[in-house]
Amino acid sequence: MIRIENLYKSFNNISVLENINLHINKGEIVSIIGESGAGKSTLMRCINLLETPDKGNIYIDGINIIDNKTRISEFRKNIGMVFQTFNLFEHLSVIDNLTYAPIKLLKENKQQAEIKARQLLKQVGLLNKENSLPNELSGGQKQRVAIARCLAMDPKIILFDEPTSALDPIRTNEVLAVIRKLAKSRITMVIVTHEMDFAKEISNKIIYMHNGKICEEGSPEKIFNNPMKKETKKFIYKECNFTYEINSKDYDIYSLNSEILEFFEKYTIPNEMIEGISLKIQEVLNLIFKLNNNAELTLSYLKEKMQIKLEIVSEGNGFSFKIPKDFNYKRKDNVNILEAYFKIKDRRKSNEEL
């Protein structure tokens, strides 16, 4: 369905894509993951020729879209794209957003286009919003409208460019639920995403990009459970764990708490739990800095057990505890229980000294 050969793209003499080679079969769901700036969004925009490659070829259904003889407007009818920032027509109602392109480009009559639009709005749970303007919708609702608008063109391929990056965790789940349902239709989809669990669940193939190149590709099991390249291993570990190094007792507590919040937002962890963990970390660090001048803490979300694991290591001393996702920090007896979770494994100092 999509074949990319020796693709290169640069901006202002800075290379963004280098020697990209990729095959995507009809009906496949491919997720592209990687650090920000790896070239993921640029690759997506090249597939739709929103960006013109410097070198290489892109074949869609056997047709080289880079060829000057290819009618770009015709081929684009078969490729839908869902952007990070929705890109709805703000002056048009929801239903008019859905019918505009089918009427203008597919030459559907207005009645036919509106019937299909209402079916699609019902599919994404927004039939009651057909007369609303985009500014009357939440971010999640806007993105669901954007997906329905894309489907209104009956595309053969849908490209999703980080469709949840502008959304909070609750709205993210709304949009991911719609994409999961869409995946069952076996339409070819390419998804740039930072939602690792979602990518693992929904994809036939995972592409890991690094510094403008495809570093590794394979099944979700291979990439997430047995990556071969060191860059992939480092990225996957970082996505599943949060690590923070502290080299002074005057560390920036606000920066630390901000990064803890960002990590846990991916897993919709309750705010009171995040606050409780942050306070507990501060207590332990205060204890550590009476003896040592550095510490490294690691937070992990154990999805299968619905637990949070906190590990802090300093000068041979290891602190760790695991708590369930629904732990109630507001109850005093639970706070006392939490104190008991801490176990000190001292290799250099006795527990009495600590």
Q: pLDDT, tens digit, for every residue of 135-168?
A: 999 999 999 999 999 999 999 999 999 998 888 8
The answer to whether residues 157 and 251 belong to one domain is no
Find out whether 260 and 299 touch, Cβ atoms under 8 Å: yes
Residue 330 is predicted with a pLDDT of 59
Burial class of residue 17 (count of CB atoms within 10 Å of its CB; 0-12, 13-18, 19+):
buried
Residue 254 is predicted with a pLDDT of 86
CA dist., res. 120 & res. 137, Å (int): 17
Domain boundary among 179, 201, 236: 236
The answer to whether residues 259 and 228 belong to one domain is no
Nearest to 156 by CA among 26, 45, 62: 26
Is residue 352 included in any domain, yes or no?
no
The answer to whether residues 72 and 180 belong to one domain is yes
Cβ atoms within 10 Å of 319's Cβ, excluding its own: 24
Which sign, positive or negative, has the C-alpha torsion 173, 175, 176, 177?
positive
Residue with tokens 């995972």: 206
The answer to whether residues 78 and 208 belong to one domain is yes
Non-local (6+) Cβ contacts of 320 within 8 A are 309, 310, 311, 312, 342, 343
The answer to whether residues 71 and 105 belong to one domain is yes
Tokens describing residue 149: 């608008």
CA dist., res. 103 & res. 114, Å (int): 10
Is residue 199 included in any domain, yes or no?
yes
Q: What is the pTM of this model?
A: 0.75
CA distances from 114 to 98, 149, 152 (A): 8, 11, 10
Q: Looking at the 3D structure of the chain, how many domains does it have?
A: 2
Find out whether 285 and 245 touch, Cβ atoms under 8 Å: no
Is residue 351 included in any domain, yes or no?
no
Residue 135 is predicted with a pLDDT of 95
The answer to whether residues 302 and 218 belong to one domain is no
Domain that holds residue 267: 239-346
Nearest to 80 by CA among 28, 27, 155, 144: 155
Find out whether 5 and 64 touch, Cβ atoms under 8 Å: no
The answer to whether residues 226 and 281 belong to one domain is no
Residue 322 is predicted with a pLDDT of 72
Give tens-digit pLDDT for 337-349.
444 444 433 333 4
- Bridge partners, residue 214, by sequence: 209
Non-local (6+) Cβ contacts of 154 within 8 A are 106
CA distances from 214 to 10, 314, 345 (A): 16, 37, 42
CA dist., res. 320 & res. 299, Å (int): 10
Domain boundary among 236, 265, 285: 236
The answer to whether residues 118 and 231 belong to one domain is yes
CATH code where residue 212 lies: 3.40.50.300
- Mean pLDDT, consecutive 10-residue stretches, the chain (354 aa), reads 96 95 96 94 94 94 89 85 92 96 93 96 95 95 95 95 85 90 91 90 95 96 92 84 84 85 74 76 77 81 73 74 64 50 40 41
Residue 238 is predicted with a pLDDT of 77
The answer to whether residues 156 and 297 belong to one domain is no
Which sign, positive or negative, has the C-alpha torsion 112, 114, 116, 118?
negative
